[in-house]
Amino acid sequence: MPEYKVPMRDTQFVLYELLKGEAHYEKLGASDATRDMIDAILTEGAKFCEQVLSPLHQAGDQGCTFKDGEVTTPPGFKEAYAQYVEGGWPSLSASEEFGGQGLPESIATVFSEFVSTANWSWGMYPGLSHGAKHTIDKFGTDEQKETYLTKLISGEWTGTMCLTEPHCGSDLGILKSKAEPNEDGSYAITGTKIFISAGEHDMAENIVHIVLARLPDAPEGTKGISLFIVPKFLPDGTRNVTCGSIEHKMGIHGNSTAVLNFDASKGFLIGPPNKGLNCMFTFMNLARLGSAMQGVAAAEQSFQGALTYAKDRLAMRSLSGPKAPDKPADPIIVHPDVRRMLMTQKAIAEGGRAMIYYCSMLGDTIHRSQDEAEIKQAEDLLSLLTPIAKAFLTETGYEATNLGMQVFGGHGYIAEWGMEQIVRDTRIATIYEGTTGIQSLDLLGRKVLMSQGELLRNFTKIIHKFCQAEADNADMKEFAEPLAARNKEWGDVTMQIGMKAMQDREEVGAASVDYLMYSGYITLAYFWASMAKTALAALAAGTSEQDFYKAKLATAKFYFQRILPRAEGHKGAMLNGAETLMALDPEHFAFL
């Protein structure tokens, strides 16, 4: 199993040098968030992730056990959670009013990357609490906050979001769970919810479920869904929600995926009736960034494993002459194709890290800025970048895990090396929290086209200015020129698709996934060009860390030369339109 080391130097590069985190926090009035403070927190957090969570990762693959309605998590999970609560980690960025430490969300995001990479399945237990916390923080009554939020922030309780039912996942409009009013003002919730991650476990005293259900008089479709707080145990200790079973699944075995049965379970309305989906959308972006993180975390974890192996494993001689003449063969890292795989993983992990931290800092601005124009700009940008980050980083993160396994050859397929577990664990990331298809419709349909391209122009303007500013910088030419060209093209092809979509609405869905991937490659190019600029500046200033910045620059070059060309394939496919997709009658897909 690859031993996880927190990439602290790279984290600092992104946080302080690329994204100028110190100035960002100061501007937002987060005066506690000094570099010394942040470094101290992250160093402590790194220890916990490396020493406590990472060693539990592989054994966690043995899975949870379900017996008589109770779930037992893998050995060590519960104890690690106690340490996590003890260390105050759940409350890092929570509001001080309810016991939190009040740090900016983006600092918690950095820590959550460490947790995610060390042990994704474990990290889902506290991670799933976010949705419940946000819902109660934003829409709860004072009493609901007092009862539930403080416990969620301290970590004594965990939370879930209960959306999916057996017959509906992406299409929540057809959900059936019912909420009947009780005499005491509460509601009796009845229905079955499936795929509830962290829905039942033994790590905390209580679980606060936020459940989507319909009031008796609710309109049909998405406009008739309300939110309810439904605790596993009521204040008097009564069991209120039961777990019917947990799923046997491809990966993330350490996390329980529960079937929850609500049988007139007592629930409490939160937020306005029938506005449940609207309420959820207010923090959907942040939840989706949480899933995007799985792609980055998986790429990093798999990269670390593959790199160690590639330096160690001997096979064949380098085509340009032996590199380890004293050994029976050269380490496989000498071979160009092994390097191609490693560099691809590295470019995804480091580039994705930059993308997610950037998004997370937009979140800080949204929550803390006093400047409405600045908030609007951050909201618009985050709104555009979220589906890109979620779908593109989980798709490429999954690719990275497959490459890491491939570096190991046959050994990659064997469980004991731990590389195939990363592939299995990561495969869900392109599905939950909105599939790649759903994210792509969100990006192209809802965000780009419904805003008449405005949300896209917000971002392409930033890229345009960046490229213009670097136009006279000879060292940046290899990045700024192709980026500027792609950036202009992005607008052009969007226009073309938009025109076609006015004739035929199927063109949106037909182009969507290729459009998202195309957009992702350009977005990541922007981050890599920015990182190249930062690295060049450090080198020009005579940094003592020559190797670090040169490696960063080399990775940027790799990305532009060897990865960005993929955009061309997606462009070609998406511009070829819907016709060949829509041609066949469903009965003519196969003649069996």
Catalytic residues: 433
Q: State the binding string over 312-331 for its own copies (x if CB under 8 A, else -).
A: --xxx-xxx-------xx-x
- Per CB under 8 A, the list member of 255, 302, 436, 530 interacting with its own copies is 436
Among 147, 432, 453, 458, binds its own copies (CB under 8 A): 432
DSSP helix/strand/coil, 230: strand
Name the strand (E) or helix (H) holding 534.
helix 506-540
CB of 511 to its own copies, least distance (A): 8
With CB under 8 A as the contact rule, which of the stretches 143-151, 160-168, 447-455, 530-538 interacts with its own copies?
Answer: 160-168
Shortest Cβ distance from residue 296 to its own copies (Å)?
Answer: 15
CA dist., res. 255 & res. 251, Å (int): 9
Comparing CA positions, the residue from 114, 103, 66, 63 lying closest to residue 421 is: 63
Shortest approach of its own copies to residue 209 CB, angstroms?
A: 18
> Does 583 engage in binding with its own copies (CB under 8 A)?
yes
Task: Provide φ and ψ at 97, rounded to 5°.
Answer: -60, -30
* C-beta atoms surrounding 461 within 10 Å: 11
Of residues 82-121, those binding its own copies (CB under 8 A): none
Closest separation between CB of residue 306 and its own copies, Å? 10
Binding to its own copies by residue 219, rule CB under 8 A? no
Binding to its own copies, residues 342-381 (CB under 8 A): 342-343, 346
The secondary structure element, H or E, covering residue 297 is helix 276-312
Site for its own copies in 31-50 (CB under 8 A): none
- Cβ contact 123:198 at 8 Å: no
Name which of residues 518 to 547 contact its own copies (CB under 8 A). 547
Residues 183-202 that bind its own copies (CB under 8 A): 194-195
CA distance 218 to 199: 26
Nearest in space to 571 (alpha carbons), one of 511, 488, 501 = 511
Q: Which is nearer to its own copies, 13 or 81 (CB)?
A: 13
Give the separation between CA 525 and CA 463, rounded to whole angstroms: 10
Stretch that binds its own copies, among 200-208, 303-311, 467-475, 483-491 (CB under 8 A): 303-311
Question: What distance in Å separates the CA atoms of residue 511 and residue 441, rounded to the nearest whole number?
Answer: 9
Query: Which residue, 474 or 590, has its beta carbon nearer to its own copies?
Result: 590
Q: Work out whether 141 is an interface residue with its own copies (CB under 8 A).
A: no
Nearest to 244 by CA among 65, 68, 124: 68
Q: Does 500 bind its own copies (CB under 8 A)?
A: no
CB atoms within 10 A of CB 534: 21
Minimal distance in Å, beta carbon 403 to its own copies?
Answer: 10
CB 114 within 8 A of CB 6: yes
- Binders of its own copies among residues 9 to 28 (CB under 8 A) are 9-10
Q: How far is the CB of 343 from its own copies (least distance, A)?
A: 6
Q: Which span sits near its own copies by CB under 8 A: 129-137, 180-188, 275-283, 584-592?
A: 584-592
Residue numbers 387-416 binding its own copies by CB under 8 A? 402, 405-406, 409-410, 412-416
Kindly tell me which residue out of 174, 499, 537, 540 binds its own copies, with binding defined by CB under 8 A. Answer: 174
Using the rule CB under 8 A, which residue among 43, 62, 170, 473 binds its own copies? 170
Residue 333 interacting with its own copies (CB under 8 A): yes
**What is each CA distance from 165 to 71, 131, 281, in whole angstroms?**
20, 18, 19
Tell me if 498 contacts its own copies by CB under 8 A.
no
How far is 531 from 79, CA to CA, in rounded Å?
39
Three-state helix/strand/coil letters over 8-31:
HHHHHHHHHHHCCHHHHHHHCCCC
Pick the stretch among 19-27, 140-148, 278-286, 566-574 that binds its own copies (CB under 8 A). 566-574
Question: 227 forms bridges with which residues in the sheet?
Answer: 212, 270
Cα 238 to its chain centre, rounded Å, is 35
Q: 55: which 2 tokens?
A: 């060693």
Rounded distance between C-alpha atoms, residue 437 and residue 391, angstroms: 8
Bridge partner list, 189? 179, 265
Report d(CA 352, CA 365) in Å as an integer. 20
* Closer Cβ to its own copies, 137 or 395, answer by number: 395
* Min dist. Cβ of residue 492 to its own copies (A): 17
What are the tokens at 154? 């301290």
How many angstroms separate the first and last alpha carbons of the chain?
A: 44
Selected from 138, 311, 376, 461, the binder of its own copies by CB under 8 A is: 311
Which of 15-23, 115-123, 242-250, 372-380 is the region at the interface with its own copies (rule: CB under 8 A)?
242-250
Gap between the Cα atoms of 41 and 43, Å rounded: 5
Q: Which of 336, 477, 485, 495 binds its own copies (CB under 8 A)?
A: 336
Least distance in Å: CB of 174 to its own copies? 5
From 184-192, 449-457, 484-492, 505-513, span contacting its own copies (CB under 8 A): 505-513
